[in-house]
Amino acid sequence: MVEGKPARLYELLGDKLVICRACPRYCRLGPGQVGFCGVRKNVDGILHLLVYGKIIAAHVDPIEKKPVMHFAPGARVLSIATTGCNWACKYCQNYDISQRRVVEGVDVTPEVVVSMAKRYRSDGIAYTYNEPAIFMEFAHDVGVLARKEGLINIFVTNGYWTPDSVKEAVDFLDAATVDFKGNGDPEFLRKFAGVPSPDPIYQTLIELRDKTRAHIEITDLVVPELGDKLDQARKLVRWIYDNFGPDIPIHFLRFHPDYNMLDLPATPINILEKHYELAKEEGMRYVYLGNVPGHPYENTFCPECLQIVVERYGFDILKWNLDEKNRCRFCGYPITIYGKPVPEALEHRRIF
């Protein structure tokens, strides 16, 4: 029985030993061995992607759920995932997918995925729920075909990539939400996500900026007591400002207890608000709080007159106070949102 499909992101070292080049773990694998992610296996000296053409989840989401606020607002995206992940987050809300080490799912081809997206009236495809870099070759083949069909491609990613993975993304990626955890604190990441260093995330962001056309937004999961240090958050925000300027959207997400971290409370709202205020102090123009439906900081405020230019509740757009050139209707300030809201009502539809 053929196991998956031969991968592209690897190097043969000799004696059938390979090194995987999909993520910075650079797993060295002998014949029969599987990488940390659980989906990349050395098959007789050839690295195979076990989940090529095998998706474990598919769901139509509003793009704001990713969260992406400043690109194709109101768009519907077919969200797909495979099993496996290159992180081992103890709080993962998708742990049944990401930490599963049995390759399972529905068999599909890139053509079938694109057909599904069109059948369910989606505007694009989101590669999400687990880390898409681990199935980059499959995402690439889907994404290239999707782009030809006029669909957008979005990654929801931890950014723990290699330059080789970025090269694959160049061909198709339109937008990415890069998700820091615990304010990017190295100690937090080592202890609670199994990540040796956050440095590759910063490198990936720079390469995405310089080598792709992808729109980028930043998220930061604020974990109470363990990953909510304001000095670390300020360090992260300053790096983002220095390298991407004040207009890149940044989202501070509320943690909810899950998986192996059920003993912590949800992030207190006032802690999230302190992160918001800190980012604004550092000059960021578009700052959001996530996982807090109904909070005022879900909205987009005009940096000039401070009026609400896009009012939201959860993933829904309630009011659109921008003109035809996405300028503030109150003062004319140009808002860096790309695209217009789609007219159809946002709708969640589970496929399987």
- Calculate the CA 336 to chain-centre distance: 20
* Whole-number pLDDT of residue 272: 98
List pLDDT tens digits, range 120-147: 999 999 999 999 999 999 999 999 999 9
What span, in angstroms and rounded, lies between the C-alpha atoms of 80 and 221? 21
Q: Per-residue pLDDT for 167 more than 60?
A: yes
Q: How many CA atoms lie within 13 A of 327 on its CB side?
A: 7
* Mean pLDDT score, 78-83: 98
Q: Where are the domains of the chain?
A: 5-49, 54-294+337-350
* Mean pLDDT score, 328-337: 98
* Whole-number pLDDT of residue 351: 39
Instruction: Give me the residue label for tokens 């921008």.
Output: 322
88's tokens: 């081992």
What span, in angstroms and rounded, lies between the C-alpha atoms of 350 and 58? 7
Q: What is the mean pLDDT of the chain?
A: 95
What span, in angstroms and rounded, lies between the C-alpha atoms of 328 and 322? 5
What are the contacts of 330-334 at 24+ separation with CB within 8 A?
Answer: 330/302, 330/305, 331/302, 331/304, 331/305, 331/307, 333/302, 333/303, 333/304, 333/305
* Mean pLDDT score, 304-323: 96
List pLDDT tens digits, range 221-242: 999 999 999 999 999 999 999 9
> Is 37 within 8 Å of 134 (Cβ atoms)?
yes
| Percentage of the chain lying above the pLDDT 90 cut | 95
> How do beta strands 54-55 and 106-107 pair?
antiparallel
Q: How confident is the model at residue 248 (pLDDT cuts 50, 70, 90)?
A: very high
List pLDDT tens digits, range 25-71: 999 999 999 999 999 999 999 999 999 999 999 999 999 999 999 99
Q: How confident is the model at residue 1 (pLDDT cuts 50, 70, 90)?
A: low
168 CB-contact burial (10 Å; exposed 0-12 / middle 13-18 / buried 19+): buried
Q: Per-residue pLDDT for 344 more than 60?
A: no
List pLDDT tens digits, range 12-27: 998 999 999 999 999 9
* Whole-number pLDDT of residue 298: 98
Amino acid in position 210? D
Q: How many angstroms separate the first and last alpha carbons of the chain?
A: 26
What span, in angstroms and rounded, lies between the C-alpha atoms of 47 and 19? 8
Spatial neighbors of 199 by CB under 8 A, at least 6 apart, are: none
Spatial neighbors of 255 by CB under 8 A, at least 6 apart, are: 91, 221, 222, 223, 224, 227, 264, 266, 267
Q: Per-residue pLDDT for 312 more than 60?
A: yes
> Is 241 within 8 Å of 285 (Cβ atoms)?
no
Is pTM, for the whole model, over 0.75? yes
* Whole-number pLDDT of residue 208: 98
CATH number of 54-294+337-350: 3.20.20.70
| DSSP classification of residue 70 | S
CB neighbour burial string for 220-257, b if at least 16 within 10 angstroms, e if fewer = bbbbbebbbeeebbbebbeebbeebeeebbbbbbbbee
270 CB-contact burial (10 Å; exposed 0-12 / middle 13-18 / buried 19+): exposed
What span, in angstroms and rounded, lies between the C-alpha atoms of 222 and 185? 11
